Amino acid sequence: MISYMICVCLIVWVAILHDKINSLSFRIDKIKKVVFDEKENQPTAYHEEITPEPTPQPTPLPEIHNAEPPEQKQELQTNYDHYIADKTKNSESFDLQKALLGNIFNKIGAIAIIVALIIFIKLVSPYIVITPLMKVIFAYLAGAGLIGGGFYLHKKENLKNYAEVMLGTGFADLFITTFCAYTIFDFLNTPAVIIIGSVLVITTYILSDRMKTLSMLIIGLIGAYLTPFCAKTGVNAILSYMLFINMISIAFTLKHTKVNWVNIANLFISMMFFLAYYFDKNISIVFPIILWGMYVIYDVLRDKENGIDHTTCYINYGVLTLFSTIIFQDAYNKLGILLGVAALLYLGLSYYSRKLGNKLYRFYEYSAIVNIWLVIFFLLNTFQSAIAWSVSGLLLTCIVQKFDAKHLKGGIIWYYTTAIIATLCAKYGGNNCLVTVYNPIFNIRTLLFAFPVLSIITSSFIFKKDEPKMHNLLLFSGLSLGYVYLTGEINSILSKAIKDNELLEFNRNMVNIIVGFTYALNSKRLGKTNNSQLFNIAGLIIFGIALFALLICSYFYYGSYIVFFNMKVAAFALAIATCFIFAKWDKTEIYKYIGIVLGFLICHSESNQIYQQNPKMEYVISLSWVLYSGITTIAGILRNRKYLINTGIALIILSILRIFIYDLAHVEAIFKLIAFLALGLILMLVSYIYTTHKNRQ
């Protein structure tokens, strides 16, 4: 399983670095000579990636006045056209053939030879009757022969690419032979194999540097990575070997910063090694810590340069965090302590980087923030975490404002977001703090909500002057959490005061709706005063939700329901007031229409409740409809309010339909008399007031 995983990683690695390997081809010089007609050969530091050149288009020669006769100019133009055509043809055939035959195939062949060597050592070698010493000697001679042949061929310009692959294959052979001599044949002792392996790795890097080639380096590294799998050895030896390869890679890339991708590849493959071996055996935390520390030192040493590639930083952080979590998955206390120590180290590194004036300090600050969050997560419960994240968010706000570290604002939002979630999910005594019944105000819920609410609102006012958007976002979050707390407290009071479960549930719904309309009003007010679209949109959304909940819950009645003196009437009254306030602030009458309709609905609801409690009063519903529609219409006529008149007329029509269709067929004669008499009087009164008022105008 482990071998399969690592081989897959190596294949992926080779695929990713394929362009880097192709760049080592001698085609660079060839293309430059053909296309650009270089006059001088200058050595390049590293072969860069080669992209196919566009097909050159023939261009006419410049006019040469008083130089050659027309016949010579025509001949010169013809020769130039033939030259361009030949060059285009050669370039096309070169791209098709050389890319495969001269570059890719030889590298695949080199990898195949390395794999064949591994198969020979593990499967075939035990059946060959020869002393271990002779096997090692023959293997070393084969590697030395490949290296010698590579040096010889490297002198020829057209075989440099092939020679570099031979050199890499030879060094891969030496890697595998050395490790097998130590683990399979027991021919080399530990100091000897360490010295030989170190010399081989260092030599590979030095030669690849001097020859300006990456083919030898990459193929040699493939052999180095495959070495542990061709021998039977312990996990500690293999992981130590990986640490050594990373150390040499770091030393090499300190000089050649442009090939930092080698570190990225080494670090990624090392992480796969650690992960693969962990599932077989327990690994000490020492290995990932050493690997992490090596790359931290690497970052410190290269911190003097600007424009640093941060990829290794992120991968290195991921390695330590991932393996720390896996290794201490059953010991959160140890994990929290380890991450806390790492956070302190990151803070020290960020200070050092700031002192050097390098942007690398941002990564260390991000890492410290994440580690502090993880320490709180692993060491504290939800109740304690909510408080700790709230305090951390406030402290981070002060740091951002004090040192103008605006890049850390995301950390503040992250801390407060998790603090809010933890507050809503926090448990005390096995029960959720939000819904558990406590003594009003002076309870554990107040203590829990006080920290995030006060911290978030304080942070919002710290940003009020310089960061209005951040101020509005935090203020909205703090107030929202405050309203949630208020809802919990009111529900707690109701739970202690009301013993009827049905009435308790009804009143809870109405209280939540009242808090919703209050919240909508406050949000709309802050949107108006702060000129914030966030509060405006939030106010409209909350208003819509509260209105929908009110309409749904207004059709439930209970035996102990008191008409006109109940929470439903209070909720409708606040909803109507909210509509008219919104209409005034937004200068639109749509809210007024909604308010009038809500008044009609509460009149119907209360009159219907009267009828439910006293079935003999069948006329009360129709009577309330007629009175409400008549009063609305008359008020609109007297105050010259179009929305009142329009709504009143619609309700009068609705009342007429009810009386003539429903009451005439279902209610008793006396109640029909009352309904029709009331309707007639209201209609006559409305008509009289409208006529007299119109004549006065």
CA distances from 317 to 249, 290, 309, 313, 339 (A): 18, 12, 14, 6, 11
Beta bridge partners of 427: 432
Report the percent of the chain where pLDDT is more than 70. Answer: 72
Residue 53 C-alpha from the chain's centroid:
39
Instruction: Identify the H or E element spanning 294.
Output: helix 286-301
- Poorest-confidence range of 344-348, 413-417, 569-573, 679-683? 679-683
| Backbone CA torsion sign across 492, 493, 499, 505 | negative
- Does residue 513 register a pLDDT over 90? yes
Q: Judge whether 220 and 248 are in contact, CB under 8 Å.
A: no
- Does residue 288 register a pLDDT over 80? yes
- Does residue 146 register a pLDDT over 60? yes
- When pLDDT is averaged across residues 353-370 and rounded to a whole number, the result is 87
Instruction: Identify the H or E element spanning 427.
Output: strand 427-428
- Does residue 27 register a pLDDT over 60? no
Say which residue, 465 or 370, is predicted with more confidence: 370
CA distance 363 to 367: 6
Reported confidence tier of residue 2, pLDDT bands at 50, 70, 90: very low
3-state secondary structure of 432: strand
Cα–Cα nearest to 167, from 125, 212, 124: 212
Cα–Cα nearest to 320, from 370, 360, 253: 370
CA distance 460 to 535: 14
Task: Record the tokens describing residue 474, joined without a space.
Answer: 């935090």
Q: Judge whether 583 and 591 are in contact, CB under 8 Å.
A: yes
Beta bridge partners of 77: none
Beta bridge partners of 431: 428
pLDDT of residue 248: 74
pLDDT of residue 34: 45
Reported confidence tier of residue 396, pLDDT bands at 50, 70, 90: very high
Angle CA 362–364–368, to nearest 5:
115
Task: Record the tokens describing residue 235, joined without a space.
Answer: 């996990």
- Does residue 387 register a pLDDT over 80? yes
Cα–Cα nearest to 636, from 623, 622, 650: 650
Contacts 24+ apart (CB under 8 A), 341-344: 342/367, 342/371, 343/367, 343/368, 343/371, 343/372, 343/375, 344/368
> pLDDT for 602-618, tens place per residue?
998 888 888 877 877 77
pLDDT of residue 357: 76
Radius of gyration of the chain (CA): 41
What does pTM read for this prediction? 0.68
pLDDT of residue 428: 81
Q: Which residues, other chains included, contact 531 with Cβ-Cβ below 8 Å and sequence gap of 6+?
A: none
CA distance 535 to 526: 6
Task: Record the tokens describing residue 376, joined without a space.
Answer: 């709180």
Residue with tokens 């891969």: 172
Q: Judge whether 146 and 163 are in contact, CB under 8 Å.
A: no
pLDDT of residue 10: 41
Amino acid letter, 448: L
CA distances from 410 to 393, 405, 454 (A): 10, 11, 19
Task: Record the tokens describing residue 569, joined without a space.
Answer: 């009437």
- Does residue 677 register a pLDDT over 60? yes
pLDDT of residue 547: 94
pLDDT of residue 121: 57
End-to-end CA distance of the chain: 96
Task: Record the tokens describing residue 580, joined without a space.
Answer: 């008219």
Say which residue, 670 or 375, is predicted with more confidence: 375
Instruction: Identify the H or E element spanning 625.
Output: helix 620-639
CA distance 620 to 613: 12
- When pLDDT is averaged across residues 457-468 and rounded to a whole number, the result is 92
3-state secondary structure of 354: helix
- Does residue 41 register a pLDDT over 50? no
Task: Record the tokens describing residue 11, joined without a space.
Answer: 């294949």
> pLDDT for 149-161, tens place per residue?
877 777 777 777 7
CA distances from 380 to 343, 372, 385, 401, 411 (A): 17, 12, 6, 28, 19
The alpha helices in 463-566, defined as continuous H runs, are 468-497, 501-530, 533-553
Q: Which residues, other chains included, contact 692 with Cβ-Cβ below 8 Å and sequence gap of 6+?
A: none
> pLDDT for 160-191, tens place per residue?
777 777 777 777 777 777 777 776 767 777 67
CA distance 259 to 273: 22
Residue with tokens 């040192």: 403
Q: Judge whether 372 and 411 are in contact, CB under 8 Å.
A: no
Q: Judge whether 626 and 655 are in contact, CB under 8 Å.
A: yes
Reported confidence tier of residue 278, pLDDT bands at 50, 70, 90: low
Cα–Cα nearest to 312, from 274, 271, 359, 260: 260
Amino acid letter, 261: W
Reported confidence tier of residue 423, pLDDT bands at 50, 70, 90: very high
- When pLDDT is averaged across residues 343-364 and rounded to a whole number, the result is 87
- Does residue 67 register a pLDDT over 80? no
- Does residue 317 register a pLDDT over 50? yes
CA distance 194 to 179: 9
- When pLDDT is averaged across residues 441-468 and rounded to a whole number, the result is 91
pLDDT of residue 590: 92
Amino acid letter, 513: I
Say which residue, 427 or 244, is predicted with more confidence: 427
> pLDDT for 96-136, tens place per residue?
445 554 456 555 665 666 566 656 655 555 556 566 777 77
Task: Record the tokens describing residue 335, joined without a space.
Answer: 């994990």
Averaged pLDDT of the chain: 77
Q: Judge whether 652 and 683 are in contact, CB under 8 Å.
A: yes
Report the percent of the chain where pLDDT is more than 90. Answer: 24
- When pLDDT is averaged across residues 34-43 and rounded to a whole number, the result is 44
3-state secondary structure of 39: coil
Work out the number of other CB atoms within 10 angstroms of the CB of residue 633: 26
Cα–Cα nearest to 426, from 490, 381, 393: 381
Reported confidence tier of residue 366, pLDDT bands at 50, 70, 90: very high
pLDDT of residue 507: 83
- When pLDDT is averaged across residues 270-280 and rounded to a whole number, the result is 73
- Does residue 71 register a pLDDT over 60? no
- Poorest-confidence range of 440-444, 449-453, 573-577? 440-444
User: Phi first, then psi: what are they for 441, rounded to 5°?
Assistant: 65, -60
